[in-house]
Amino acid sequence: MGDFGSRQIIEVREGNITDYYSRDKIILTGEFPYVETTFANNIELIVKPRKKQLPSVVKIPFSGYYFQLFLGDFNGDGKDEVLVRGSFLEVRGYAIGTIYAYVDGLLQNIFNQEIFTSSYPFTVKYLDNYKLEVYSLPLKEKYVIDISGRSKEYLELLYNPDGKVKENVGPAITPVIDVDPVKSIYDNSYSLIVKQNIVGIDNYDVFAIIESYFSLLNNEIKLISMGILTFGKKEEKSEIKCICPD
C-alpha cells in the first residue's frame, strides 16, 4: 500500500478498460481507520486512461478486509472489466465481490454479491426422518440431503425420538462466501463461481456448499449450472458428493 493524499493505495493494476489495448491504470484506494488490520472503508476505484482523458472514479459501497483487484473480460466485449474482491470478516467469512464495466466514460456496476443473492434466492428446511430440503425459487428445483449420518447427540437437537422435526429449529443459507473468476478455455472471457454454505446450528456447522456457475455476457447475469456439494462423514476419509436436483 502507498499514500494517495489522505487516502492509501491498496493496489494498482494495468489493463484495457477504456478501449482495446488501451493500457489504462486501475487504482484501488481506501482509508484504514485502525492500526495493524487490513480493514478499509471509503473505498474508491479509479481508472486513469493512458490517453488524455479525465479519470473515472466510483465509490465501492462496501467496507471490509483484504481488498484486491482482478481484471478480465466478463461481459464479452473484448475489454477488461474490474472485479473488486474482499471479505466482510477478518477471518474467512462472507465475501465481497463487485464488478465494474467502463461504459460511455463511466464505471457501471454490473454485478455484486447482493445482486446475486436477490436474483437467485433459496429456501431451506429440515424434513422428517433426518433430511434437509433446499429449494431454488427462480429455477424451481429441489435438492434433498440425507443428514442421518450425523451423531445421535446432534440429531437429538433437531428431531424428536420419532424422527419428527422439532418446532422452532431450521437450517439457513449463508450470504456469499466466495466469488471466483473462471477463465474459458475457448476464448479470453471469464465466468464466475459463487459459493454459499448451508448451515445448521451455527455458521461453523456446514451441511453442504451451494455452487452457482454463471456468466455476465452482455452485462446480464445468466446461470449456467448450479449444484450442491455435501461432505462425507467426518470419521471417514474426506469425501465430496454432488447432490443433483429432483
pLDDT-based confidence at 88, cuts 50/70/90?
Answer: very high
pLDDT value for 7: 81
For cell 480493514, what's the residue? 39
Domain boundaries of the chain, sorted by first residue: 2-110, 120-243
pLDDT value for 198: 96
- In this predicted model, what pLDDT tens digit does every residue of 96-132 receive, in sequence order? 999 999 998 899 999 999 999 999 999 999 999 999 9
Q: If you count them, how many residues does the chain have?
A: 246
pLDDT-based confidence at 91, cuts 50/70/90?
Answer: confident
pLDDT-based confidence at 240, cuts 50/70/90?
Answer: very low
Query: Is there a contact between 59 and 42 (Cβ–Cβ < 8 Å)?
Result: yes
- In this predicted model, what pLDDT tens digit does every residue of 174-212 receive, in sequence order? 999 999 999 999 888 999 999 999 999 998 999 999 999
Secondary structure element (H or E) that encloses residue 175, with its range = strand 172-183
Residue 3 has pLDDT above 80, yes or no: no
For cell 483484504, what's the residue? 66
Residue 69 has pLDDT above 50, yes or no: yes
Q: What value, to the nearest 5°, has the Cα angle with vertex 117 and ends 238 and 244?
A: 45
* Average confidence score pLDDT of the chain: 90
pLDDT-based confidence at 245, cuts 50/70/90?
Answer: low
Residue 218 has pLDDT above 90, yes or no: yes
pLDDT-based confidence at 233, cuts 50/70/90?
Answer: low
- In this predicted model, what pLDDT tens digit does every residue of 36-53 receive, in sequence order? 889 999 999 999 998 878
**132 Cβ partners below 8 Å, 6+ apart?**
124, 125, 126, 144, 145, 147, 171, 198, 207
117 closest CA partner among 137, 93, 99, 144: 137
Residue 4 has pLDDT above 80, yes or no: no
3-state secondary structure of 116: helix
